[in-house]
Amino acid sequence: MPPIYDVYVYKLKNGKYLLYPALISNDNCERDESDKECSFLYHECLLNTGIESLEKINTNIKAWQIDGVVHLYMHLFGIENVRGGRYRTAILSDETKEVISQSIKYFTSGLDEDRGQIEKYYTYANDIIDDWDSIESQYTEYKNLEQCQNNYKVNRDLLIELDWLKRIINTPVEHFFGITERYYELIRNLRAIYTKYTTTFDDTAQKIASVYGVYQSFFNENPTIGPLVESQLANPITYLDSRVIFGERSKYRLDFCPKDQLFLDIFTMMVYTFINREDEIIFDMSQINIEKIEALRKIRAFDQSTMAVQ
């Protein structure tokens, strides 16, 4: 049979707590002996203080449960204010405190969330609802908006990456190997947003053409440069390699030019189109008190099931 412990919870004279796991045996020692054992084992924690009182005894605790009991008291009173179990020193290292913090978060996050849900219940339990059709309609509207938001969600950090891309076109990078990982990740993201943009919106050709129109005079005056074509937008590497890789770039033109800016402007327009649409949806969602609606629906479902049982 695995060893079983009684965990003595002592309050110290300095207001802190000390937990001592006493092994249960057939010849179990008296309480004053446990006090002495605790004082001996946790001598460092009792320097300049002493045991004020025995607060509680947690009985029949298995060895693997001891740290959990200690962590519970650390959660309640603070890591610096509790010692016990395997934490026998007055000062804990930052690494140990971080492990304890993560353990406490892991075991208490669900409980804290449950507590929040119960508070919602008491907040809305006594509300009298006369128009449940309106509640259900708002719930359906919110869920539809939520789905739309997912459809328009985009990585907003792409704007930062496009600024970076402009810098490396503007200032050629001679050692391409140093940027390959970031560069090819950006290529994948640009390819993905082009596909998403052209399949999500109906007027993509007109929108791209409107951006292109700003630079039309440049292409008219420089026919040898050639236009920016759709295949280069769909697969950006076919355009960007010759503008980013120094060896390739030196074969063509070195200066940052309006064609480069056109490329950047088109993709910037795509990102902002998604951002603006998502922000509109987020605003519409904020007008619906979904927390209250979901709480009311849960309460009603519980009440209806209770009535059905009766």
Asked if the structure places residue 121 within a domain, the reply is no
Asked if the structure places residue 67 within a domain, the reply is yes
96-143 pLDDT per residue, tens: 999 999 888 877 666 666 676 777 777 776 776 778 888 899 999 999
Confidence band of 194 (pLDDT split at 50, 70, 90): very high
Question: Cα-atom radius of gyration of the chain, to the nearest Å?
Answer: 33
Asked if the structure places residue 122 within a domain, the reply is no
Whether residues 170 and 261 share a domain: the answer is yes
Nearest Cα neighbor of 78 from 140, 14, 166, 17 is 17
Amino acid at 272: Y
Whether residues 90 and 162 share a domain: the answer is no
Whether residues 87 and 187 share a domain: the answer is no
Whether residues 180 and 263 share a domain: the answer is yes
Whether residues 70 and 170 share a domain: the answer is no
Average pLDDT estimate for 213-225: 90
Residue 261's alpha-carbon distances to 43, 176, 246, 255, in angstroms, are 71, 21, 18, 12
Residue 254's alpha-carbon distances to 169, 178, 236, 290, in angstroms, are 9, 20, 18, 55
Whether residues 86 and 201 share a domain: the answer is no
- pTM for the model stands at 0.61
Interhelix angle for 258-286 vs 158-170, to 10°?
170
Whether residues 186 and 262 share a domain: the answer is yes
Question: Measured between alpha carbons, how far is 201 from 125 in angstroms, rounded to an integer?
Answer: 43
Final residue in a domain of this structure, among 80, 96, 112: 96
The residue ranking higher by pLDDT, 83 or 291, is 83
pLDDT for res 26: 52
pLDDT for res 124: 74
Question: Angle 47-52-58 (CA atoms, 0-180°, nearest 5)?
Answer: 105
Is residue 263 scored above 90 in pLDDT?
A: yes
Asked if the structure places residue 107 within a domain, the reply is no
Asked if the structure places residue 216 within a domain, the reply is yes
Whether residues 89 and 178 share a domain: the answer is no
Whether residues 280 and 162 share a domain: the answer is yes
Tally of domains in the chain:
2
Question: Measured between alpha carbons, how far is 241 from 227 in angstroms, rounded to an integer?
Answer: 16
Question: Measured between alpha carbons, how far is 240 from 227 in angstroms, rounded to an integer?
Answer: 14
Measured between alpha carbons, how far apart are the two ends of the chain, in Å? 47
CB 65 within 8 A of CB 53: no
Asked if the structure places residue 292 within a domain, the reply is no
132-190 pLDDT per residue, tens: 888 899 999 999 999 999 999 999 999 999 999 999 888 877 788 889 999 999 999 99
Residue 233's alpha-carbon distances to 182, 227, 266, in angstroms, are 19, 12, 9
Domain that residue 31 falls in: 4-96
Final residue in a domain of this structure, among 46, 68, 96: 96
For residue 136, count other CB atoms closer than 10 A to its CB. Answer: 13
Final residue in a domain of this structure, among 76, 96, 116: 96
152: left (phi over 0), alpha (psi -120 to 50) or beta: alpha
11-49 pLDDT per residue, tens: 999 999 999 998 886 555 555 577 788 888 888 988 889
Asked if the structure places residue 20 within a domain, the reply is yes
Whether residues 189 and 266 share a domain: the answer is yes
Asked if the structure places residue 297 within a domain, the reply is no
Contacts of 133 by beta carbon, 8 Å cutoff, 6+ apart: none
Whether residues 92 and 208 share a domain: the answer is no
